[in-house]
Amino acid sequence: MVDRDRDDAGRARNSRPRDRLGRPLPPGSAGVARIPDDLDLPPQQTLTFAQQLLDDGLAFNAHEVLEAAWKNGPFAERMLWQALAQLAVGVTHIQRGNPTGARTLLTRAVTRLRTFQPDEDGVMPYGIDRTGLIAHAETLLAALDAETPIPAAELTPRLRG
């Protein structure tokens, strides 16, 4: 049986360091700072932190921040947070040179963003720019389909309008 890192509750946790794109490095290597497994921020702080990470080219870390909100947030918002996390991991796949993975995750993100509807006044929670994020993901998908290079500057979606 393989000996795995576990947290205090016995859940498997990988403590190996990771590179900027979230790929595991050999034990003992210097990696980027990890997002705590128990991260639980209020929605506005989550969006600010995730945006900062995206702006710094750390889409994998942004995905982990958004995933924490998806798993810890209210049930009614989970699809929205899941869409944002999938968008960030779709960007991660582009950064890693994995167009197939990028297409899959970006398509899922667009589907979930389209499904999550604004309130009766047309307002999205927390100022999230649903329309802009859908357009951004579709632009990335078009570039992937055309097999055109995507500059790093285009890998920083704006979470809020």
Per-residue pLDDT, 2: 53
pLDDT at 93: 97
Q: Are 88 and 54 in contact (CB under 8 A)?
A: yes
Report pLDDT for 10.
62
- SS3 track for the chain: CCCCCECCCCCECCCCCECCCCCECCCCCCCECCCCCCCCCCHHHHHHHHHHHHHCCCHHHHHHHHHHHHHHCCHHHHHHHHHHHHHHHHHHHHHCCCHHHHHHHHHHHHHHHHHCCCCCCCCCHHHECHHHHHHHHHHHHHHHHCCCCCCHHHHCCCCEC
Distance of CA 114 to the CA centre of its chain: 17
What CA–CA distance (Å, rounded) separates 24 from 82?
Answer: 23
Which regions in the chain score pLDDT beneath 70?
1-14
pLDDT of residue 32: 86
Tell me the two tokens of residue 45.
Answer: 């702080």
pLDDT at 14: 64
Whole-number pLDDT of residue 20: 85
* Tokens standing for residue 103: 């297409």
Beta bridge partners of 18: 24, 32
